[in-house]
């Protein structure tokens, strides 16, 4: 079970590293392809806002990756629970305000991993 939890944490961390890259460095290029409902002329003016959001996603990834270096299982799980809860809450908010897809990409994996840790 512990290996499954670590794999899920790694996948979620990787996802947030990708989101960080996308929002910080590829907003004006790939963003137009991903967010096709967003007006094309607003990508450049919102570049710094997207980069700020990307930075937060990077912090979520860093917190999740940190758990791999904590040798005490109880503390590792506590830190993982905190950052997974942050991911789940952010995903829930994103699903309500941006796209339902975010619920399945961010919230569900985080909640599943939280459930496995608590079992």
> pLDDT tens for residues 31-85?
888 888 889 999 999 999 999 999 999 999 999 999 999 999 999 999 999 999 9
- Residue 71 pLDDT: 95
DSSP string, the chain: -HHHHHHHHHHHHHHHHHHHHHHHHSTTTTHHHH-TTS-GGGTTTTHHHHHHHHHHHHHHHHHHHHGGG--SHHHHHHHHHHHHHHHHHHHHHHHHHT-THHIIIIIHHHHHHHHHHH-
């Amino acid at each position: 079970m512990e290996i499954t939890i670590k794999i899920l944490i790694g996948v979620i961390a990787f996802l947030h590293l990708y989101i960080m890259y996308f929002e910080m460095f590829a907003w004006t290029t790939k963003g137009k392809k991903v967010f096709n409902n967003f007006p094309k002329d607003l990508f450049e003016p919102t570049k710094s806002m997207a980069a700020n959001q990307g930075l937060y996603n990077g912090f979520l990834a860093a917190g999740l990756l940190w758990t791999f270096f904590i040798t005490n299982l109880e503390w590792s799980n506590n830190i993982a629970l905190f950052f997974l809860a942050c991911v789940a809450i952010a995903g829930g908010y994103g699903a309500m305000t941006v796209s339902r897809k975010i619920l399945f990409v961010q919230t569900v994996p985080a909640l599943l991993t939280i459930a496995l840790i608590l079992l």
